[in-house]
Amino acid sequence: MTMRALIGGNGPEWTVEEIERPEQLGAVRVQVMAAGLNRADLYALDGTYTAAGQTAGTFTAGMEVAGIVERSSLLAPGLPVGTRVMGITAGAFADYALCHPRMLVPIPDRLSFDEAATLPVGLITEHDALVTQAGFEPGDTVLIVGGTSSIGLVGIQLAKALGAGTVIATTTTEDKRGALVAAGADVAVDTTTGNLVESVLAATNGRGADITLDHVGGDLFARLPAATAVGGRIVSIGRLAGAATELNLDTIAFRRQKLIGTTFSIRTRSELGDVVQALVPEVLPAVRDGRITAHLDSVHTAAEAKTAADRLRANAATGKVVLSFADAHTSTPPGPSATANMWGSIAQIGYVVRDIEASMRQFAACGIGPWFYLKGVTPTNFTYRGEPADMAMDVAVANSGDIQIELITPVNDAPSMYRDFLDAGHEGVQHVAYWSENFQELYDRALAAGFTVGQEGQIGGADGRFAYLQTEHHPGTVIEISDLGGSKKFIFDLIKLAAANWDGSNPIQEIDAALIGGDPAAQAAMLEALG
Protein backbone atom coordinates (compact mmCIF):
# COMPACT_ATOMS: atom_id res chain seq x y z
CA MET A 1 0.00 0.00 0.00
CA THR A 2 1.13 3.53 -0.69
CA MET A 3 0.86 6.78 1.24
CA ARG A 4 1.49 10.48 0.78
CA ALA A 5 4.81 11.87 2.02
CA LEU A 6 6.86 15.05 1.82
CA ILE A 7 10.20 14.12 0.26
CA GLY A 8 13.40 16.11 0.67
CA GLY A 9 16.61 15.88 -1.34
CA ASN A 10 15.09 16.72 -4.74
CA GLY A 11 15.54 20.47 -4.59
CA PRO A 12 15.00 23.56 -2.42
CA GLU A 13 11.48 22.51 -1.33
CA TRP A 14 9.76 19.28 -0.34
CA THR A 15 7.84 17.42 -2.99
CA VAL A 16 4.57 15.61 -2.30
CA GLU A 17 4.94 12.00 -3.48
CA GLU A 18 3.25 8.62 -3.18
CA ILE A 19 5.58 6.09 -1.57
CA GLU A 20 5.22 2.65 -0.02
CA ARG A 21 3.76 2.57 3.47
CA PRO A 22 6.73 1.76 5.77
CA GLU A 23 7.20 -1.61 7.46
CA GLN A 24 9.63 -2.65 10.18
CA LEU A 25 9.43 -5.47 12.66
CA GLY A 26 9.29 -4.12 16.20
CA ALA A 27 8.52 -0.52 15.25
CA VAL A 28 5.28 1.22 16.16
CA ARG A 29 3.49 2.45 13.06
CA VAL A 30 1.64 5.69 13.70
CA GLN A 31 -1.25 7.07 11.70
CA VAL A 32 0.05 10.65 11.49
CA MET A 33 -2.53 13.29 12.32
CA ALA A 34 -0.17 16.26 12.72
CA ALA A 35 3.56 16.93 12.52
CA GLY A 36 5.53 19.83 13.95
CA LEU A 37 7.81 21.90 11.73
CA ASN A 38 11.27 22.66 13.12
CA ARG A 39 14.29 24.68 12.06
CA ALA A 40 16.19 21.43 11.70
CA ASP A 41 13.67 20.37 9.02
CA LEU A 42 14.66 23.42 6.98
CA TYR A 43 18.35 22.75 7.55
CA ALA A 44 17.88 19.12 6.44
CA LEU A 45 16.11 20.42 3.34
CA ASP A 46 19.02 22.67 2.37
CA GLY A 47 21.59 19.99 3.22
CA THR A 48 23.23 21.62 6.25
CA TYR A 49 21.81 19.18 8.81
CA THR A 50 21.24 15.44 8.90
CA ALA A 51 18.52 14.35 11.28
CA ALA A 52 18.92 11.16 13.33
CA GLY A 53 17.61 8.32 11.19
CA GLN A 54 17.57 10.37 7.98
CA THR A 55 18.61 8.37 4.91
CA ALA A 56 21.20 9.55 2.40
CA GLY A 57 19.89 11.05 -0.84
CA THR A 58 16.15 11.59 -0.94
CA PHE A 59 14.35 11.17 2.37
CA THR A 60 10.93 11.42 3.96
CA ALA A 61 11.07 14.68 5.89
CA GLY A 62 9.96 15.53 9.40
CA MET A 63 10.94 14.56 12.93
CA GLU A 64 8.05 15.47 15.25
CA VAL A 65 4.83 13.49 15.18
CA ALA A 66 1.40 13.25 16.79
CA GLY A 67 -1.10 10.58 15.84
CA ILE A 68 -2.65 7.21 16.62
CA VAL A 69 -0.94 3.84 16.99
CA GLU A 70 -2.01 1.91 13.88
CA ARG A 71 0.33 -1.05 14.41
CA SER A 72 1.66 -1.81 17.88
CA SER A 73 4.97 -3.32 18.97
CA LEU A 74 5.93 -6.01 21.44
CA LEU A 75 8.51 -3.53 22.73
CA ALA A 76 5.75 -1.19 23.85
CA PRO A 77 3.00 -3.12 25.65
CA GLY A 78 1.74 0.18 27.07
CA LEU A 79 0.99 1.59 23.61
CA PRO A 80 -1.64 -0.69 22.07
CA VAL A 81 -3.39 -0.02 18.77
CA GLY A 82 -5.59 3.07 19.01
CA THR A 83 -3.41 4.89 21.57
CA ARG A 84 -2.94 8.63 20.93
CA VAL A 85 0.81 9.26 20.91
CA MET A 86 3.35 12.01 20.31
CA GLY A 87 7.10 11.80 19.90
CA ILE A 88 10.06 12.05 17.58
CA THR A 89 11.01 9.98 14.55
CA ALA A 90 12.51 10.28 11.10
CA GLY A 91 9.86 10.54 8.38
CA ALA A 92 7.10 12.34 10.30
CA PHE A 93 5.83 14.32 7.28
CA ALA A 94 3.74 11.47 5.90
CA ASP A 95 0.39 9.78 6.34
CA TYR A 96 2.12 7.01 8.34
CA ALA A 97 5.41 7.02 10.26
CA LEU A 98 7.49 4.28 11.88
CA CYS A 99 8.53 5.11 15.42
CA HIS A 100 10.87 3.47 17.89
CA PRO A 101 8.67 2.57 20.88
CA ARG A 102 10.81 4.47 23.39
CA MET A 103 10.54 7.67 21.37
CA LEU A 104 6.79 7.89 21.90
CA VAL A 105 4.67 8.90 24.88
CA PRO A 106 0.87 9.03 25.25
CA ILE A 107 -0.83 12.34 24.44
CA PRO A 108 -2.54 13.84 27.51
CA ASP A 109 -6.32 13.89 27.04
CA ARG A 110 -6.57 17.67 27.11
CA LEU A 111 -4.51 18.11 23.91
CA SER A 112 -5.67 17.93 20.30
CA PHE A 113 -3.37 16.33 17.74
CA ASP A 114 -2.36 19.75 16.38
CA GLU A 115 -1.50 20.92 19.90
CA ALA A 116 0.36 17.70 20.69
CA ALA A 117 2.51 18.14 17.57
CA THR A 118 3.88 21.39 19.01
CA LEU A 119 5.45 19.77 22.06
CA PRO A 120 7.77 16.74 21.64
CA VAL A 121 10.87 18.45 20.23
CA GLY A 122 10.49 21.42 22.55
CA LEU A 123 9.99 19.25 25.62
CA ILE A 124 12.92 16.93 24.99
CA THR A 125 15.24 19.76 23.91
CA GLU A 126 14.54 22.00 26.87
CA HIS A 127 14.31 19.25 29.49
CA ASP A 128 17.54 17.64 28.30
CA ALA A 129 19.34 20.99 28.23
CA LEU A 130 17.93 22.36 31.47
CA VAL A 131 17.87 19.26 33.66
CA THR A 132 20.18 16.61 32.20
CA GLN A 133 22.91 18.84 30.82
CA ALA A 134 22.79 21.91 33.09
CA GLY A 135 21.75 20.19 36.33
CA PHE A 136 18.76 22.39 37.13
CA GLU A 137 17.59 22.58 40.74
CA PRO A 138 14.36 24.17 42.00
CA GLY A 139 14.96 27.81 42.84
CA ASP A 140 17.52 28.36 40.06
CA THR A 141 17.29 31.50 37.97
CA VAL A 142 16.97 30.64 34.29
CA LEU A 143 17.71 32.89 31.30
CA ILE A 144 16.16 31.75 28.02
CA VAL A 145 17.60 33.51 24.98
CA GLY A 146 15.30 33.33 21.98
CA GLY A 147 12.22 32.85 24.14
CA THR A 148 9.61 33.46 21.43
CA SER A 149 10.79 30.51 19.36
CA SER A 150 8.49 27.52 19.66
CA ILE A 151 11.15 25.72 21.71
CA GLY A 152 11.88 28.78 23.84
CA LEU A 153 8.22 29.16 24.83
CA VAL A 154 8.24 25.53 25.98
CA GLY A 155 11.45 26.21 27.91
CA ILE A 156 9.88 29.10 29.81
CA GLN A 157 6.94 26.99 30.91
CA LEU A 158 9.12 24.00 31.73
CA ALA A 159 11.42 26.04 33.96
CA LYS A 160 8.45 27.49 35.84
CA ALA A 161 6.76 24.08 36.15
CA LEU A 162 9.92 22.57 37.63
CA GLY A 163 10.23 25.33 40.21
CA ALA A 164 12.60 27.96 38.82
CA GLY A 165 13.00 30.99 41.07
CA THR A 166 13.04 33.57 38.28
CA VAL A 167 12.71 33.07 34.53
CA ILE A 168 14.08 35.75 32.22
CA ALA A 169 13.39 35.48 28.49
CA THR A 170 14.46 37.46 25.44
CA THR A 171 13.00 38.48 22.11
CA THR A 172 14.07 40.66 19.20
CA THR A 173 10.54 41.85 18.46
CA GLU A 174 8.76 44.24 20.80
CA ASP A 175 5.37 42.90 19.68
CA LYS A 176 6.31 39.46 21.04
CA ARG A 177 7.19 40.54 24.59
CA GLY A 178 3.64 39.76 25.63
CA ALA A 179 4.04 36.15 24.49
CA LEU A 180 7.00 35.74 26.86
CA VAL A 181 5.02 37.02 29.83
CA ALA A 182 2.00 34.91 28.87
CA ALA A 183 4.24 31.82 28.84
CA GLY A 184 5.34 32.59 32.39
CA ALA A 185 8.51 34.69 32.08
CA ASP A 186 9.05 36.96 35.11
CA VAL A 187 11.17 39.35 33.03
CA ALA A 188 10.97 39.93 29.26
CA VAL A 189 13.87 41.63 27.48
CA ASP A 190 13.91 43.00 23.92
CA THR A 191 17.59 42.65 23.05
CA THR A 192 17.30 45.10 20.12
CA THR A 193 16.36 47.99 22.43
CA GLY A 194 17.50 46.91 25.90
CA ASN A 195 20.84 45.90 27.41
CA LEU A 196 20.67 42.15 28.06
CA VAL A 197 23.40 42.02 30.70
CA GLU A 198 22.07 45.01 32.66
CA SER A 199 18.52 43.65 32.54
CA VAL A 200 19.55 40.23 33.82
CA LEU A 201 21.77 41.61 36.59
CA ALA A 202 19.01 43.99 37.67
CA ALA A 203 16.55 41.09 37.89
CA THR A 204 18.97 38.95 39.92
CA ASN A 205 20.43 41.51 42.35
CA GLY A 206 23.66 41.54 40.38
CA ARG A 207 24.18 37.78 40.55
CA GLY A 208 23.25 36.67 37.03
CA ALA A 209 21.38 33.60 35.85
CA ASP A 210 22.26 30.18 37.25
CA ILE A 211 21.45 28.58 33.90
CA THR A 212 21.33 30.18 30.45
CA LEU A 213 19.65 28.34 27.59
CA ASP A 214 20.64 29.91 24.27
CA HIS A 215 18.66 29.32 21.08
CA VAL A 216 20.24 32.16 19.09
CA GLY A 217 24.05 32.00 18.99
CA GLY A 218 25.91 34.56 16.87
CA ASP A 219 27.11 37.85 18.31
CA LEU A 220 24.61 37.81 21.18
CA PHE A 221 26.25 34.70 22.61
CA ALA A 222 29.33 36.77 23.55
CA ARG A 223 27.25 38.69 26.10
CA LEU A 224 25.93 35.62 27.89
CA PRO A 225 28.87 34.90 30.24
CA ALA A 226 28.50 38.38 31.77
CA ALA A 227 24.78 37.71 32.30
CA THR A 228 25.39 34.29 33.88
CA ALA A 229 26.29 33.75 37.54
CA VAL A 230 29.56 32.57 39.01
CA GLY A 231 29.51 28.81 38.60
CA GLY A 232 26.65 29.12 36.14
CA ARG A 233 26.00 26.93 33.10
CA ILE A 234 25.45 28.15 29.54
CA VAL A 235 23.89 25.66 27.12
CA SER A 236 24.12 26.26 23.37
CA ILE A 237 20.99 24.77 21.83
CA GLY A 238 20.35 26.70 18.61
CA ARG A 239 22.30 28.99 16.35
CA LEU A 240 19.69 31.05 14.51
CA ALA A 241 22.03 34.03 14.32
CA GLY A 242 25.03 31.96 13.25
CA ALA A 243 27.49 29.43 14.61
CA ALA A 244 30.42 31.85 15.00
CA THR A 245 30.98 34.24 17.88
CA GLU A 246 33.83 35.88 19.82
CA LEU A 247 34.12 35.15 23.53
CA ASN A 248 36.06 36.79 26.33
CA LEU A 249 37.51 33.70 27.94
CA ASP A 250 38.59 35.69 31.00
CA THR A 251 34.94 36.23 31.92
CA ILE A 252 34.22 32.51 31.66
CA ALA A 253 37.34 31.58 33.62
CA PHE A 254 36.93 34.16 36.38
CA ARG A 255 33.26 33.25 36.80
CA ARG A 256 34.06 29.51 36.69
CA GLN A 257 31.32 28.83 34.20
CA LYS A 258 30.53 25.78 32.11
CA LEU A 259 29.78 26.03 28.39
CA ILE A 260 27.71 23.05 27.19
CA GLY A 261 26.85 22.23 23.60
CA THR A 262 23.98 19.94 22.67
CA THR A 263 22.38 18.42 19.59
CA PHE A 264 20.27 15.35 18.87
CA SER A 265 21.46 14.69 15.33
CA ILE A 266 24.36 12.43 16.34
CA ARG A 267 22.80 10.68 19.33
CA THR A 268 22.09 6.98 19.11
CA ARG A 269 18.58 5.57 19.08
CA SER A 270 19.10 4.34 22.63
CA GLU A 271 20.22 7.80 23.78
CA LEU A 272 17.24 9.47 22.11
CA GLY A 273 14.93 6.95 23.76
CA ASP A 274 16.40 7.89 27.14
CA VAL A 275 15.78 11.58 26.42
CA VAL A 276 12.13 11.01 25.51
CA GLN A 277 11.42 8.67 28.43
CA ALA A 278 12.98 11.20 30.84
CA LEU A 279 9.84 13.30 30.27
CA VAL A 280 7.59 10.76 31.98
CA PRO A 281 8.20 11.44 35.71
CA GLU A 282 7.73 15.24 35.87
CA VAL A 283 7.18 16.80 32.46
CA LEU A 284 4.16 14.87 31.19
CA PRO A 285 2.26 15.48 34.46
CA ALA A 286 2.92 19.21 33.96
CA VAL A 287 1.44 18.97 30.46
CA ARG A 288 -1.48 16.96 31.75
CA ASP A 289 -2.44 19.51 34.42
CA GLY A 290 -1.91 22.55 32.19
CA ARG A 291 1.29 23.99 33.64
CA ILE A 292 2.84 23.40 30.21
CA THR A 293 0.56 24.26 27.29
CA ALA A 294 0.83 24.13 23.52
CA HIS A 295 1.78 27.27 21.60
CA LEU A 296 0.30 26.72 18.17
CA ASP A 297 1.10 29.38 15.59
CA SER A 298 -0.65 27.97 12.52
CA VAL A 299 -1.77 24.73 10.84
CA HIS A 300 -1.17 23.95 7.17
CA THR A 301 -2.06 21.03 4.92
CA ALA A 302 0.64 18.92 3.28
CA ALA A 303 -0.03 20.78 0.02
CA GLU A 304 0.74 24.04 1.84
CA ALA A 305 4.14 22.86 3.11
CA LYS A 306 6.06 25.63 1.31
CA THR A 307 3.84 28.28 2.90
CA ALA A 308 4.51 26.74 6.30
CA ALA A 309 8.26 26.61 5.66
CA ASP A 310 8.33 30.22 4.43
CA ARG A 311 6.59 31.37 7.62
CA LEU A 312 9.30 29.74 9.69
CA ARG A 313 12.07 31.07 7.43
CA ALA A 314 10.74 34.61 7.85
CA ASN A 315 10.71 34.33 11.66
CA ALA A 316 7.04 35.27 11.48
CA ALA A 317 5.79 32.51 13.78
CA THR A 318 5.11 32.80 17.49
CA GLY A 319 4.86 29.21 18.58
CA LYS A 320 4.90 26.07 16.45
CA VAL A 321 3.96 25.79 12.79
CA VAL A 322 2.19 22.45 12.22
CA LEU A 323 1.46 20.34 9.15
CA SER A 324 -1.79 18.39 9.23
CA PHE A 325 -2.17 14.94 7.70
CA ALA A 326 -5.60 14.30 9.25
CA ASP A 327 -7.35 14.49 5.88
CA ALA A 328 -5.85 11.09 4.97
CA HIS A 329 -7.56 9.36 7.90
CA THR A 330 -11.28 9.04 8.31
CA SER A 331 -11.35 6.53 11.14
CA THR A 332 -9.45 5.33 14.18
CA PRO A 333 -7.38 2.17 13.58
CA PRO A 334 -9.12 -1.05 14.62
CA GLY A 335 -8.21 -2.77 17.86
CA PRO A 336 -5.33 -5.23 18.20
CA SER A 337 -5.29 -8.25 15.94
CA ALA A 338 -3.41 -11.52 16.31
CA THR A 339 0.32 -11.12 15.74
CA ALA A 340 2.86 -13.84 15.02
CA ASN A 341 5.09 -14.65 17.98
CA MET A 342 8.69 -14.01 16.95
CA TRP A 343 10.13 -15.78 20.01
CA GLY A 344 8.36 -19.10 20.22
CA SER A 345 7.42 -20.46 23.66
CA ILE A 346 9.02 -19.51 26.96
CA ALA A 347 11.50 -22.26 27.75
CA GLN A 348 13.10 -21.00 30.95
CA ILE A 349 12.50 -18.65 33.87
CA GLY A 350 15.75 -17.36 35.33
CA TYR A 351 16.18 -16.22 38.92
CA VAL A 352 19.18 -14.24 40.16
CA VAL A 353 19.67 -14.87 43.87
CA ARG A 354 22.19 -14.18 46.61
CA ASP A 355 22.15 -17.64 48.21
CA ILE A 356 21.80 -20.24 45.46
CA GLU A 357 21.90 -23.26 47.78
CA ALA A 358 19.12 -21.90 49.98
CA SER A 359 17.07 -21.19 46.85
CA MET A 360 17.50 -24.76 45.60
CA ARG A 361 16.32 -26.14 48.93
CA GLN A 362 13.25 -23.88 48.90
CA PHE A 363 12.27 -24.97 45.37
CA ALA A 364 12.91 -28.62 46.21
CA ALA A 365 10.61 -28.31 49.22
CA CYS A 366 7.88 -27.27 46.76
CA GLY A 367 8.47 -30.40 44.66
CA ILE A 368 10.67 -28.84 41.96
CA GLY A 369 13.84 -30.83 41.32
CA PRO A 370 16.23 -32.51 41.17
CA TRP A 371 18.69 -29.64 40.88
CA PHE A 372 21.87 -29.85 38.83
CA TYR A 373 24.42 -27.50 40.34
CA LEU A 374 27.48 -26.12 38.55
CA LYS A 375 30.00 -23.93 40.35
CA GLY A 376 32.28 -21.34 38.83
CA VAL A 377 30.83 -21.26 35.31
CA THR A 378 32.77 -18.80 33.14
CA PRO A 379 31.18 -18.13 29.73
CA THR A 380 33.58 -17.65 26.85
CA ASN A 381 33.58 -14.49 24.72
CA PHE A 382 31.41 -12.83 27.37
CA THR A 383 30.68 -9.14 26.86
CA TYR A 384 28.70 -6.69 28.97
CA ARG A 385 27.34 -3.70 27.03
CA GLY A 386 29.81 -4.50 24.27
CA GLU A 387 32.90 -4.69 26.48
CA PRO A 388 34.69 -7.95 27.49
CA ALA A 389 34.11 -9.01 31.10
CA ASP A 390 35.52 -11.97 33.10
CA MET A 391 32.23 -12.85 34.73
CA ALA A 392 31.92 -16.05 36.79
CA MET A 393 28.76 -17.48 38.27
CA ASP A 394 27.27 -20.44 40.06
CA VAL A 395 24.32 -21.95 38.18
CA ALA A 396 21.62 -24.46 39.10
CA VAL A 397 18.85 -25.79 36.85
CA ALA A 398 15.76 -27.96 37.26
CA ASN A 399 12.51 -28.42 35.42
CA SER A 400 8.95 -27.70 36.46
CA GLY A 401 7.01 -29.49 33.75
CA ASP A 402 8.15 -28.17 30.39
CA ILE A 403 9.62 -24.99 31.90
CA GLN A 404 13.20 -24.98 33.10
CA ILE A 405 13.98 -23.01 36.25
CA GLU A 406 17.46 -21.52 36.40
CA LEU A 407 19.17 -20.05 39.46
CA ILE A 408 22.22 -17.79 39.04
CA THR A 409 24.56 -16.19 41.54
CA PRO A 410 27.47 -14.08 40.27
CA VAL A 411 30.60 -15.03 42.24
CA ASN A 412 32.94 -12.19 41.31
CA ASP A 413 32.69 -8.44 40.83
CA ALA A 414 32.96 -8.46 37.03
CA PRO A 415 30.16 -6.41 35.42
CA SER A 416 27.07 -8.28 34.25
CA MET A 417 23.32 -7.83 34.11
CA TYR A 418 23.13 -10.29 37.02
CA ARG A 419 25.31 -8.01 39.12
CA ASP A 420 23.22 -4.99 38.03
CA PHE A 421 20.06 -6.80 39.15
CA LEU A 422 21.41 -7.50 42.63
CA ASP A 423 23.01 -4.07 43.01
CA ALA A 424 19.64 -2.48 42.23
CA GLY A 425 18.22 -4.28 45.26
CA HIS A 426 16.39 -6.98 43.31
CA GLU A 427 16.32 -10.71 43.89
CA GLY A 428 14.09 -13.13 42.00
CA VAL A 429 13.01 -13.41 38.36
CA GLN A 430 15.63 -11.67 36.22
CA HIS A 431 14.90 -13.11 32.79
CA VAL A 432 12.64 -15.26 30.69
CA ALA A 433 14.41 -17.30 28.04
CA TYR A 434 13.53 -18.49 24.57
CA TRP A 435 15.55 -21.26 22.96
CA SER A 436 16.12 -21.72 19.27
CA GLU A 437 18.00 -24.18 17.11
CA ASN A 438 18.52 -21.27 14.69
CA PHE A 439 20.02 -18.80 17.13
CA GLN A 440 21.49 -16.41 14.57
CA GLU A 441 18.14 -15.91 12.83
CA LEU A 442 16.44 -15.12 16.13
CA TYR A 443 19.32 -12.83 17.14
CA ASP A 444 19.08 -10.89 13.86
CA ARG A 445 15.30 -10.58 14.16
CA ALA A 446 15.62 -9.23 17.70
CA LEU A 447 18.06 -6.52 16.59
CA ALA A 448 15.85 -5.67 13.62
CA ALA A 449 12.92 -5.32 16.03
CA GLY A 450 14.82 -2.62 17.93
CA PHE A 451 16.23 -4.60 20.84
CA THR A 452 19.76 -3.93 22.03
CA VAL A 453 22.08 -6.50 23.61
CA GLY A 454 23.00 -5.99 27.23
CA GLN A 455 25.27 -9.02 27.56
CA GLU A 456 26.14 -12.08 25.52
CA GLY A 457 28.57 -14.97 25.39
CA GLN A 458 28.95 -18.71 24.90
CA ILE A 459 28.63 -21.73 27.16
CA GLY A 460 29.65 -25.03 25.68
CA GLY A 461 31.27 -23.92 22.46
CA ALA A 462 30.09 -22.36 19.22
CA ASP A 463 26.59 -23.85 19.49
CA GLY A 464 26.12 -22.53 23.00
CA ARG A 465 25.54 -18.82 22.32
CA PHE A 466 23.23 -16.71 24.46
CA ALA A 467 22.24 -13.04 24.54
CA TYR A 468 20.30 -10.94 27.05
CA LEU A 469 18.21 -8.20 25.46
CA GLN A 470 17.40 -4.84 26.96
CA THR A 471 13.68 -4.54 27.70
CA GLU A 472 13.36 -1.07 29.20
CA HIS A 473 9.60 -1.13 29.58
CA HIS A 474 10.06 -3.61 32.43
CA PRO A 475 13.22 -2.54 34.29
CA GLY A 476 15.24 -5.35 35.83
CA THR A 477 13.62 -8.26 34.00
CA VAL A 478 14.96 -9.02 30.54
CA ILE A 479 14.62 -11.45 27.65
CA GLU A 480 17.30 -14.05 27.02
CA ILE A 481 17.65 -15.88 23.73
CA SER A 482 19.74 -19.02 23.71
CA ASP A 483 21.13 -21.45 21.19
CA LEU A 484 19.64 -24.90 21.67
CA GLY A 485 22.21 -27.02 19.96
CA GLY A 486 24.88 -29.61 20.60
CA SER A 487 25.68 -30.50 24.18
CA LYS A 488 23.24 -27.97 25.62
CA LYS A 489 20.23 -29.73 24.12
CA PHE A 490 21.54 -33.08 25.34
CA ILE A 491 21.85 -31.78 28.89
CA PHE A 492 18.52 -29.94 28.95
CA ASP A 493 16.70 -33.03 27.71
CA LEU A 494 18.25 -35.07 30.55
CA ILE A 495 17.27 -32.46 33.15
CA LYS A 496 13.68 -32.50 31.92
CA LEU A 497 13.64 -36.30 32.01
CA ALA A 498 15.06 -36.32 35.54
CA ALA A 499 12.31 -33.97 36.76
CA ALA A 500 9.58 -36.11 35.18
CA ASN A 501 10.82 -39.18 37.11
CA TRP A 502 12.01 -37.56 40.34
CA ASP A 503 11.04 -39.34 43.57
CA GLY A 504 12.32 -36.60 45.89
CA SER A 505 15.70 -38.20 46.58
CA ASN A 506 19.04 -36.48 45.96
CA PRO A 507 17.46 -33.05 45.50
CA ILE A 508 20.79 -31.33 44.73
CA GLN A 509 23.45 -32.90 42.54
CA GLU A 510 26.67 -31.01 41.97
CA ILE A 511 27.99 -31.74 38.49
CA ASP A 512 31.18 -30.96 36.65
CA ALA A 513 31.11 -27.68 34.71
CA ALA A 514 32.88 -29.57 31.92
CA LEU A 515 29.51 -31.19 31.22
CA ILE A 516 28.21 -28.09 29.44
CA GLY A 517 31.33 -28.04 27.30
CA GLY A 518 30.38 -31.39 25.79
CA ASP A 519 32.96 -33.46 27.70
CA PRO A 520 32.04 -37.14 27.03
CA ALA A 521 33.25 -38.35 30.44
CA ALA A 522 31.16 -35.73 32.26
CA GLN A 523 28.10 -36.62 30.19
CA ALA A 524 28.60 -40.31 30.93
CA ALA A 525 28.82 -39.51 34.65
CA MET A 526 25.54 -37.62 34.50
CA LEU A 527 23.81 -40.48 32.69
CA GLU A 528 25.05 -42.85 35.38
CA ALA A 529 23.78 -40.52 38.13
CA LEU A 530 20.35 -40.53 36.52
CA GLY A 531 20.30 -44.29 36.40
Residues 108 and 134 in one domain: no
For the stretch 11-64, pLDDT in tens is 999 999 999 999 887 889 999 999 999 999 999 998 877 776 677 789 999 999
pLDDT given for residue 524 in this prediction: 53
Using CA atoms in the order 409, 410, 416, 422, what is the torsion angle rounded to 10 degrees? 60
Q: Above 60 in pLDDT, residue 528?
A: no
- Domain membership of residue 100 as a residue range: 2-119+295-328
Q: What is the pTM of this model?
A: 0.68
Residues 33 and 137 in one domain: no
Task: Give the helix/strand (H/E) hosting 16.
Answer: strand 15-20
Q: Per mean pLDDT, which range of 23-32, 89-98, 141-150, 154-163 is the poorest? A: 23-32
For the stretch 329-387, pLDDT in tens is 987 666 555 455 678 889 999 999 999 999 999 999 999 999 999 999 999 999 999 99
Among candidate residues 463, 442, 443, 461, the one with its CA nearest the CA of residue 453: 443
Task: Tell which of 245, 261, 277 closes a domain.
Answer: 261
Whether 404 is covered by a domain: the verdict is yes
Max mean pLDDT among 314-328, 439-453, 479-493 falls in 314-328
Count up the domains in the chain and report the number: 3
Task: Tell which of 261, 283, 315 closes a domain.
Answer: 261
Residues 109 and 152 in one domain: no
pLDDT given for residue 181 in this prediction: 95
Whether 341 is covered by a domain: the verdict is no
Q: Above 80 in pLDDT, residue 517?
A: no
Percentage above 70 pLDDT, the chain: 93
pLDDT given for residue 335 in this prediction: 55
Q: Above 80 in pLDDT, residue 473?
A: no
Residues 507 and 391 in one domain: yes
pLDDT given for residue 299 in this prediction: 97
Residues 304 and 383 in one domain: no
For the stretch 176-194, pLDDT in tens is 899 999 999 999 999 999 9
For the stretch 78-98, pLDDT in tens is 899 999 999 999 999 999 999
Residues 363 and 431 in one domain: yes
Residues 448 and 371 in one domain: yes
Whether 32 is covered by a domain: the verdict is yes
Residues 437 and 472 in one domain: yes
Identify the CATH number of the domain in which residue 199 sits: 3.90.180.10
Residues 228 and 369 in one domain: no
Residues 391 and 511 in one domain: yes
Whether 418 is covered by a domain: the verdict is yes
Identify the CATH number of the domain in which residue 420 sits: 3.10.180.10
Task: Give the helix/strand (H/E) hosting 202.
Answer: helix 196-203
What's the CA gap between 384 and 300, in Å, rounded? 48
Q: Above 80 in pLDDT, residue 130?
A: yes
**Other CB atoms within 10 Å distance of the CB of residue 421:** 24
pLDDT tier, 511 (very low <50, low <70, confident <90, very high otherwise): confident
Whether 417 is covered by a domain: the verdict is yes
Residues 6+ apart with CB under 8 A from 129: 155, 213, 235, 237, 260, 262
Task: Tell which of 235, 261, 287 closes a domain.
Answer: 261
Residues 132 and 115 in one domain: no
**Other CB atoms within 10 Å distance of the CB of residue 108:** 19
What's the CA gap between 201 and 197, in Å, rounded? 6
Using CA atoms in the order 381, 387, 390, 395, what is the torsion angle rounded to 10 degrees? -70
Residues 383 and 454 in one domain: yes
Burial class of 289 by CB neighbour count within 10 A (0 to 12, 13 to 18, 19+): exposed
